[in-house]
Amino acid sequence: MTSDAGPGEDGERRNVSDAAGVVVLGACATWSLITAAVHDGRPEGVLLAVLALAAGYAAGRICGALLPVAAPCAGALAGLGLAVAVPHLAPGPQIVAPLGHAGATAALLTLCAGAACCAAWATDAPTRRFAMGALAVGITVTAAVLGSTSGFVTCAAVLLCSVAAGRMRSRGLGIAGLALSAALVTGLTWAIAGKALPAGLTESLEGQLTPHRIQLWQDALHLAHRNAALGVGPERFGELSSTATSTLLSDDKPHSALLQQAAEQGVVGVVLLGASFCWVLHALWRSPRPTPVVLTAGAALTALAAIASVGNALSFTAVSVGAGLLAGLATARPIADESPQEEMDERARGDRLTP
């Protein structure tokens, strides 16, 4: 099921969505520069993440238009190879305990599973669809073999959502469900940091998340309350967090994209982070691709948002590029869909509108 709008109307809506994306990403980059200038911060990390996301999205739109099946399959295989060959996803010393790099590996494998499922829904050939489905299952198993429990859970969730997407007729309902899921996860993260949950539930979650991570979240929330307008500046959390400074091995991050934005860039940073995710969901909603492809990509990106809410996955360039690439692949209009008959119909509509 694709968009019911005509080619002209569909193209206009996609232009609006693309323009909104440019505005949102541009605002993210600009605000990081403003907060860095005020507090002598270092905006390079934010700027690199924005550039990686934009570059991945552009590449996905191009490759998805040219190779709607082969491109997501190649992306899934490339991401899988990267996760296996370079498990840390970054050079230099690695932070192993107590937080580690598992979130980045889980995020990358989740995006790979989503891309493989998108490739499966993009083809009509039963043999190729089975092969793409088998690849998605293989990626899920790989996550378990690599010891990424969170990756195994999120990959399995993407597989289940992809199967369910094949039976859905309304993509709007599915997109709304994904937005609600992301909001619940981010709200839960904020509630844990603010000690707003019942004691028993907090203790249970603390055992899964580790006390050290929750202490970092509490430091981030404390900094956010003290500097709600502008934050403390990009990349300055490690200097001001008592938990981070007292840890021998620390990556100077609170291991939550939401709380890092709140601490370092204030309320506006949180709003821009949420606007970026909403823009992606809106672009998927307006996508000309079939509904199963759109909802599968949305499920993978929502899983990434959940992982980023409780980890530092977005600090890795490979993850940002992968997220943009998957979003671009799922919103591209394949050139093969532009049949001569559609062009003739669009030309005839234009002739009727001409006085």
User: How confident is the model over 48-70, as pLDDT tens digits?
Assistant: 999 999 999 999 999 999 999 99
Domain count, the chain: 1
Q: What angle do CA 52, 57, 63 make, to 5 degrees?
A: 120
- In the chain, the amino acid numbered 246 is S
Q: Buried (b) or exposed (e) across 146-178, using 16+ Cβ within 10 A?
A: bebebbbbbbbbbbebbeebeebeebeebbebb
What pLDDT shows up at residue 286?
92
User: How confident is the model over 194-209, as pLDDT tens digits?
Assistant: 988 887 887 888 778 8
Mutual angle of helices 199-209 and 171-193, in 10-degree steps: 100
Residue 344 lies in a domain: no
- In the chain, the amino acid numbered 266 is G
- In the chain, the amino acid numbered 29 is A
Range of the domain at 232: 7-334
User: What CA–CA distance (Å, rounded) separates 14 from 304?
Assistant: 24
Q: Is 248 exposed, middle or buried (0-12, 13-18, 19+ CB in 10 A)?
A: exposed
Instruction: Spell out, as residue ranges, where the chain has pLDDT lower than 70.
Output: 1-14, 87-102, 248-250, 337-355
C-alpha to C-alpha distances, 68 to 64, 140, 158, 213, 320, nearest whole angstrom: 4, 22, 20, 40, 21
Residue 262 lies in a domain: yes
- DSSP string covering 143-193: HHHTT-HHHHHHHHHHHHHHHHHTT-S-HHHHHHHHHHHHHHHHHHHHHHH
What are the backbone dihedrals phi and psi of residue 111, each rounded to the nearest 5 degrees, phi first? -65, -40
What pLDDT shows up at residue 340?
43
User: What CA–CA distance (Å, rounded) separates 275 from 217?
Assistant: 22
User: What CA–CA distance (Å, rounded) separates 106 from 99?
Assistant: 13
Q: Nearest-CA neighbor of 173 among 298, 14, 279?
A: 298
What pLDDT shows up at residue 14?
66
Q: Using an 8 Å Cβ cutoff, are 258 and 273 in contact?
A: yes
Residue 355 lies in a domain: no
User: How confident is the model over 146-168, as pLDDT tens digits?
Assistant: 888 889 999 999 999 999 999 98
What pLDDT shows up at residue 51?
96
Q: Using an 8 Å Cβ cutoff, are 221 and 193 in contact?
A: yes
Residue 345 lies in a domain: no
- DSSP string covering 47-76: HHHHHHHHHHHHHHHHHHHH-TTHHHHHHH
What pLDDT shows up at residue 341?
43
User: What CA–CA distance (Å, rounded) separates 197 from 204?
Assistant: 11
User: What CA–CA distance (Å, rounded) separates 31 from 48?
Assistant: 14
Residue 100 lies in a domain: yes
Q: Strand locations in 190-325, DSSP E?
A: none
Residue 343 lies in a domain: no
